[in-house]
């Protein structure tokens, strides 16, 4: 069976199963009486009892499958109370056709709130359907990036494979789900192969998804790697001219970088890196650009490569490299790289402590501006968190990436909003920060700014800080006073509501 036929077969089989019906009524344990009316809810607020025969999987299945493609509407309060009454078996019960759990169904349609409740109730994210798909597979296939991020936060296995050998990354790549691919690449291995020996890059190339190819190429894949039929990624690009051109350019840029690293041409190496060359590319002997530069004790080149995120360990090059066979030569290389390692340590330590002179000194010594700490927080995010405008500007001048995420999915602008640093947020937006980016909890900068304000009284908020929310609200689409008021609590409610209405953001978003 060809790979295309396999894809079509799986796509056909993996649709939502049909709802069983009998005499005009859903056979889902009297679901027409499950959700409470307003009066019933008030009467049963102290004690929540489920109807006889209630099945969570049937309830969610009926909601999802009867919406004709529209987003299902759930009584979230009822669902939350119901989950508290279910044991582990009931929570992870599977429907009989495809073996989907409630979490799998919610992930397949991208219902963030239901997914959040199920994960908080410890639904099994590792459960597989009859075709071997986990909840993460189904969210990735559907292109639901926020759901994918939630699952990853709760420890979902990014390397899980279904019966075709497809990982969530492979399935997202073949379906052209760019936002999902970017999210998965934070943890997933792009080198994973399926039952045909094909990687995510090969599948993206085969379908002509050039933007996804670009994201995966940034991880430095081996373009000479062959699938089980002996084909490289270039073979899979034969029907897509743009894909072939991108692969050829990537190979040429890597050759330019390796040549310039060996000759010590810093200008040419910088141009190649800026154009998209992979900083840890390997030559035919297994040597990386950093190893070539260090072997000649060319410190400016070492600093340039380290500043672009080169792997400072010798393991970045293949062990068989002749460069590493001589002990004295190897020791000499390690001495050159040791200073770069020290500068990276200085960078992360100084950023946490708010020592911005130390941060800039580390960068001048060759530290990578985007080097993350153990929580994946970069120096720029630390500067935004501390509220240092000057440090933010200097890091941006040093070409720090502005939308890099930490383990919670927060970028620098999230940290600025959370701490109400108005000027920092303004600088970040001016330099292109994505102010609409969602953290893995679904929070945008707007949510975090409002939540932070809601915990304080009006008297505690200086008038100068009232402009913080202004920095995040630009376009009026559909805002009501009731929606705006949901962004703040207590004494700040009316002030925040007025700001939201007058300044104009699309606030038709729930704040958990």
H-helix or E-strand spanning residue 21:
strand 21-22
Q: Are residues 41 and 148 in the same domain?
A: yes
Q: Is residue 279 part of a domain?
A: yes
Q: Is residue 375 part of a domain?
A: no
Reported as a pLDDT band with limits 50, 70 and 90, residue 81 is confident
Q: Is 451 helix (H, G, I), strand (E, B) or coil?
A: helix
Q: Are residues 477 and 395 in the same domain?
A: yes
- Listed range (121-125, 131-135, 167-171, 362-366) with the worst mean pLDDT: 362-366
Single out the residue of 117, 120, 129, 130 nearest to residue 78, CA to CA: 117
Query: Which of the pair, 295 or 203, is modelled with greater confidence?
Result: 203
Q: Is residue 298 part of a domain?
A: yes
Domain boundary among 199, 218, 237: 218
Q: Measured between alpha carbons, how far is 502 from 292 in angstroms, rounded to an integer?
A: 58
Q: Are residues 278 and 192 in the same domain?
A: no
Please check the confidence at residue 497 and state whether its pLDDT lies above 70: no
> What DSSP assignment string belongs to 466-490?
GGTGGGG----SS--HHHHHTT--G
Residue 425 is predicted with a pLDDT of 83
Residue 499 is predicted with a pLDDT of 41
Q: Are residues 330 and 392 in the same domain?
A: no
Q: Highest-confidence range of 14-23, 66-75, 268-277, 478-487, by mean pLDDT?
A: 268-277
Residue 333 is predicted with a pLDDT of 63
Q: What is the model's pTM?
A: 0.67
Domain boundary among 265, 300, 335: 335
Please check the confidence at residue 498 and state whether its pLDDT lies above 70: no
Reported as a pLDDT band with limits 50, 70 and 90, residue 1 is low
What pairs with residue 25 in β-bridges? 22
Q: Are residues 206 and 256 in the same domain?
A: no
What stretches of 187-240 show up as alpha helix (H) in DSSP? 200-206, 210-217, 233-236
Q: Is residue 126 part of a domain?
A: yes
Q: Are residues 293 and 425 in the same domain?
A: no
Model confidence pLDDT, tens digit, residues 96-117? 889 999 999 999 999 888 999 9
- Listed range (77-91, 109-123, 233-247, 283-297) with the worst mean pLDDT: 283-297
Residue 67 is predicted with a pLDDT of 55
Q: Are residues 146 and 289 in the same domain?
A: no
Q: Is residue 145 part of a domain?
A: yes
Q: Are residues 193 and 280 in the same domain?
A: no
Mean of the pLDDT values across residues 169-194?
94
Q: Are residues 209 and 286 in the same domain?
A: no
Tokens (6 digits) for 373: 């700490």
Domain boundary among 320, 335, 350: 335
Reported as a pLDDT band with limits 50, 70 and 90, residue 470 is very low
Q: Measured between alpha carbons, how far is 164 from 141 in angstroms, rounded to an integer?
A: 14
Residue 268: φ, ψ to 5°: -65, -40
Other beta carbons within 10 Å of 335: 10
Reported as a pLDDT band with limits 50, 70 and 90, residue 483 is very low
Reported as a pLDDT band with limits 50, 70 and 90, residue 210 is very high
Reported as a pLDDT band with limits 50, 70 and 90, residue 512 is very low
Residue 130 is predicted with a pLDDT of 95
User: Mean pLDDT over all residues of the chain?
Assistant: 77
Model confidence pLDDT, tens digit, residues 387-433? 999 999 999 998 899 999 888 889 999 998 888 787 888 888 888 88
Reported as a pLDDT band with limits 50, 70 and 90, residue 199 is very high
Mean of the pLDDT values across residues 344-372?
88
Query: Which of the pair, 460 or 25, is modelled with greater confidence?
Result: 460
Mean of the pLDDT values across residues 305-316?
74
Q: Measured between alpha carbons, how far is 385 from 379 in angstroms, rounded to an integer?
A: 10
Q: Measured between alpha carbons, how far is 473 from 340 in angstroms, rounded to an integer?
A: 42
Residue 166 is predicted with a pLDDT of 97
Please check the confidence at residue 479 and state whether its pLDDT lies above 90: no
Tokens (6 digits) for 484: 């705006």
Distance from first CA to last CA of the chain, Å, rounded? 47
Q: Is residue 76 part of a domain?
A: yes
Q: Measured between alpha carbons, how far is 31 from 12 in angstroms, rounded to an integer?
A: 28
Percentage of the chain surpassing pLDDT 90?
A: 40
Q: Are residues 205 and 250 in the same domain?
A: no
Q: Measured between alpha carbons, how far is 389 from 356 in angstroms, rounded to an integer?
A: 11
With beta carbons less than 8 A apart as the criterion, state whether 437 and 472 touch: no
Identify the domain containing residue 297 by its residue range: 245-335
Residue 496 is predicted with a pLDDT of 42
Reported as a pLDDT band with limits 50, 70 and 90, residue 137 is very high
Q: Are residues 171 and 25 in the same domain?
A: yes
Q: Give the rounded distance of the alpha carbon of 114 from its chain centre.
A: 20
Please check the confidence at residue 367 and state whether its pLDDT lies above 90: no
Reported as a pLDDT band with limits 50, 70 and 90, residue 445 is confident
Q: For the chain, what is the domain count?
A: 3
Q: Is residue 238 part of a domain?
A: no
Residue 442 is predicted with a pLDDT of 75
Please check the confidence at residue 14 and state whether its pLDDT lies above 80: no
Q: Is 101 helix (H, G, I), strand (E, B) or coil?
A: strand
Q: Are residues 444 and 492 in the same domain?
A: yes
- CATH number at 484 reads 1.25.40.20
Helices 389-397 and 422-430: crossing angle in degrees, nearest 10, is 20
Q: Is residue 355 part of a domain?
A: no
Model confidence pLDDT, tens digit, residues 222-271? 898 999 999 999 999 999 999 999 999 999 999 999 999 999 999 999 99
Tokens (6 digits) for 90: 């009931």
Residue the block writes with tokens 């090969």 = 202
């Amino acid at each position: 069976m060809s790979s295309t036929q396999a894809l079509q077969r799986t796509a056909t089989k993996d649709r939502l199963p049909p709802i069983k019906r009998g005499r005009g009524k859903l056979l889902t344990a009297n679901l027409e009486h499950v959700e409470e009316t307003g009066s019933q809810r008030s009467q049963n607020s102290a004690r929540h009892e489920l109807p006889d025969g209630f099945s969570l999987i049937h309830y969610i299945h009926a909601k999802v499958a009867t919406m004709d493609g529209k987003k299902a509407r759930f009584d979230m309060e009822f669902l939350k109370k119901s989950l508290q009454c279910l044991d582990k078996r009931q929570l992870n019960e599977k429907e009989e056709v495809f073996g989907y759990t409630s979490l799998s169904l919610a992930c397949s349609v991208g219902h963030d709130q239901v997914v959040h409740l199920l994960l908080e109730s410890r639904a099994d994210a590792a459960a597989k359907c009859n075709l071997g798909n986990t909840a993460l597979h189904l969210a990735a296939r559907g292109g639901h990036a926020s759901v994918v991020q939630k699952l990853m936060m709760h420890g979902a296995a990014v390397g899980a494979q279904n019966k075709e050998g497809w990982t969530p990354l492979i399935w997202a790549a073949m379906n052209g789900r760019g936002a999902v691919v970017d999210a998965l690449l934070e943890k997933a291995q792009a080198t994973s192969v399926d039952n045909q020996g094909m990687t995510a890059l090969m599948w993206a190339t085969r379908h002509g998804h050039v933007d996804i190819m670009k994201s995966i190429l940034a991880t430095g894949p081996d373009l000479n790697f062959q699938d089980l039929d002996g084909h490289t990624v270039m073979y899979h690009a034969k029907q897509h001219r743009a894909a072939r051109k991108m692969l050829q350019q990537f190979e040429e840029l890597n050759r330019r970088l390796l040549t310039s690293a060996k000759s010590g041409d810093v200008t040419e190496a910088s141009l190649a890196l800026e154009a998209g060359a992979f900083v840890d590319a390997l030559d035919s002997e297994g040597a990386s650009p950093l190893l070539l530069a260090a072997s000649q004790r060319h410190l400016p080149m070492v600093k340039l490569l380290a500043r672009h995120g080169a792997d400072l360990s010798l393991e970045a090059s293949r062990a068989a490299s002749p460069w590493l066979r001589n002990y004295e030569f190897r020791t000499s290389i390690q001495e050159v790289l040791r200073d770069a390692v020290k500068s990276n340590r200085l960078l992360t330590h100084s950023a946490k402590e708010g020592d911005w002179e130390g941060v800039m000194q580390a960068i001048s010594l060759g530290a990578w501006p985007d080097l993350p700490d153990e929580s994946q927080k970069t120096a720029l995010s630390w500067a935004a968190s501390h509220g240092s405008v000057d440090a933010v500007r200097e890091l941006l001048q040093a070409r720090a990436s502005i939308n890099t995420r930490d383990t919670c999915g927060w970028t620098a602008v999230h940290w600025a909003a959370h701490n109400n640093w108005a000027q920092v947020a303004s600088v970040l937006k001016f330099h292109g920060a994505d102010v609409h980016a969602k953290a893995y909890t679904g929070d945008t900068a707007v949510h975090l700014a409002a939540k932070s304000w809601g915990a304080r009284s009006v008297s505690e908020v200086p008038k100068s800080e009232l402009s913080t929310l202004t920095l995040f609200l630009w376009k009026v689409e559909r805002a009501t006073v009731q929606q705006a008021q949901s962004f703040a609590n207590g004494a700040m409610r009316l002030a925040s509501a007025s700001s939201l209405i007058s300044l104009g953001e699309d606030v038709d978003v729930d704040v958990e």
